[in-house]
Structure 1
């Protein structure tokens, strides 16, 4: 059986595809992954021996502003994504494909879905967070430049508006491409690409799907893969040299004032009598002095690292939150946008850490949050929740794909 997985996302959105691809291959399937052409994604998939088809523009360059603004703005980039994923997924499926799985941004997903329609291949859409799926139990994530009207409190009204927003932003690009390949136009691109039976790749305790809801959501569990890579020798030496440090990093989020953020975080961690591990990430965080109680790290095995820290200070992306929860590490979530406020709320509600109020951390605000995260009670609760974490999500998803 042949499967093509696709995603246009940051590392937290590509890593689950790695886990699913490995499980599919273990069950005898042939797998290809269409993902952004960033070097770190290609390297990660090469490490597990899965073929990657570079697709679209670099996510890192786009997020960090290294890609020049497109003259056509969002609609132009949407059109480019639709075409890129349609062309590359078509090529990846050319030798015969039984199922297409898509995640990530709507235009990229629409390109994959169009391949499925055109070639008559089974298609599945998956999300890494429940709040991106229409539900009466939560509002939609605000789209860039389209804030939710504060006077509207009816979630269904907000979701109807979200469908209109998606149509206005992406509809022309998607329908122009569909017309070029002989497919009919869509009047609701969001619901068409999501389908009425989307999959939800989240742990049911950390991020549950609430019923009743109109969508027939299939919650598989998070797609995680045990990471056996050793930590860098210098990092291991730092960890061994003292008490567990506090990790701080914001993954693929570029921070507005990275120097101020690093200073506030390190000083707040030191005020709690702790050492610090600072992850550079796409924000390019750095140390603020040459004291030996701090260590800066680049790419590293977060599964192994988070099991050795006192707490994890992060942005609340689905990938980092999932890994920290699985590791049993207390968390301080400083949400920057998107699905991150949701995960910050879940961490606080579960009692496994603190949700920072707003996206701008200060010494005072981080100190207060760390006091909560570093209590024995929070550590005990984080350990208890980690014991419930389902590690079979990728296997469940792989079997569902192959059995169908």
Structure 2
């Protein structure tokens, strides 16, 4: 079996794919990964024996520099890469697993090729639910008096469509596929996967979304810690860990000092 995994995003989006790729290869599958061209992703995926097909811009450069000034143009750029680079990478594959920043064109690629398509998210808060609001997204802000979560998710649908629907449907028409009305629902499908730990990222069942929670996709690292780090961990009280995930911190020049002072 040949499996194509794809995501455009930071290390938090690519590392889970490396963990899944490692397990798939143990089961005898051939694995190809479409991911940004960052050197760290190339090394990460090479370490699990997965073929990397780079697409899109270097993510570290985007995170540390100025973000794209035109969100719609950047979305159209990614959609084009889905149909071009990702589409070519999927041609001899049996299944396509898509994740990361709104993979708007991935399902269309699978549809055209007649292969299975699965959308996977790595935290529950990107999946529409009345229990919490949607994450931030480019587009008009919600009115101050809009506090109902369902109304906010309806607004999110409009934002996604404004960014992705026109370029998506243009590419679909070019390969003979019908237009899509609701891009987010099209991408997520009615049965998305949630690759998150059920304790850390629990999912509350909904009647209109059959989420399959797989557990987290982790690349296990058996290497011993350096001796000086072991000594530090063993000395005195347990240390405090501070992490910032994938948040861009280009303007937070004193963030490390602020975090240390807050801990102290």
- For normalisation by structure 2, the TM-score amounts to 0.91
Q: Distance in 2 between matches of 1:23 and 1:121?
A: 21
SS for the counterpart of 1:250 is coil
Alignment partners' CA distance in 1, 2:145 and 2:17: 39
Q: Retained in 2: the 8 A contact 1:2–1:31? A: yes
53-62 vs 157-166, greater mean Cα deviation: 157-166
* 1:171 corresponding residue in structure 2: 165
RMSD of aligned C-alpha atoms?
2.1
1:57 CA displacement: 0.7
Change over 3 Å in CA distance of 1:251–1:158 after alignment to 2: closer
Q: Is 1:55 aligned to 2:55, yes or no? A: yes
Number of equivalenced pairs: 264
Q: Does 1:80 align with 2:52?
A: no
1:104 aligns with 2:100: yes
Contact 1:60–1:252 (Cα < 8 Å) also in 2: no
Distance in 1 (CA, whole Å) between partners of 2:250 and 2:217 is 31
Task: Kindly state the Cα deviation for residue 35 of structure 1 after the two structures are TM-superposed.
Answer: 0.6
In structure 2, relative to structure 1, the CA distance for the partners of 1:61 and 1:213 (3 Å cut) is farther
Call closer, same or farther: CA 1:75–1:51 in 2, change over 3 Å: same
* Partners of 2:104 and 2:164 within 8 A in 1: no
Post-superposition offset of 1:209: 1.1
Query: Are 1:33 and 2:27 counterparts?
Result: no
CA contact (8 A) 2:79 2:164 kept: no
> Which deviations, in whole Å up to 9, do the C-alpha atoms of 1:316-373 show, x marking residues without a partner?
xxxxxxxxxxxxxxxxxxxxxxxxxxxxxxxxxxxxxxxxxxxxxxxxxxxxxxxxxx
Change (3 A) 1:112 1:233: farther
Contact 1:56 1:85 in 2 (8 A): no
Q: Map 1:122-137 to 2 at 5 A.
A: 122-137=116-131
**Cα distance change on mapping 1:20 and 1:117 into 2, 3 Å:** same
Q: Which has the larger radius of gyration?
A: 1
Question: 1:22 maps to which residue?
Answer: 22
Of 233-242 and 36-45, the range deviating more from structure 2: 233-242
Instruction: Summarize deviations over 1:125-155 as a string: whole Å, max 9, x none.
Output: 0111111111222222231343333322332
CA distance in 2, matches of 1:167, 1:101: 22
Aligned partner of residue 104 in structure 2, secondary structure: helix
CA distance in 2, matches of 1:146, 1:63: 22
What CA deviation, in whole Å up to 9, does each residue of 1:69-102 have, x standing for no partner?
46xx1122111111212222222223x2111000
2:224 & 2:47 partners in 1: Cα distance? 13
Q: Deviations over 1:192-246 (max 9, x none)?
A: 1111111111111111111233111111111112112344555445445554322
Aligned to 2:207: 213
Quote how far apart the aligned CAs of 1:117 are.
1.2
- Specify the alignment match of 1:45 in structure 2: 45
Partner secondary structure for residue 53 of structure 1: strand
With the length of structure 1 as denominator, give the TM-score of the two structures.
Answer: 0.61
1:265 is aligned to 259
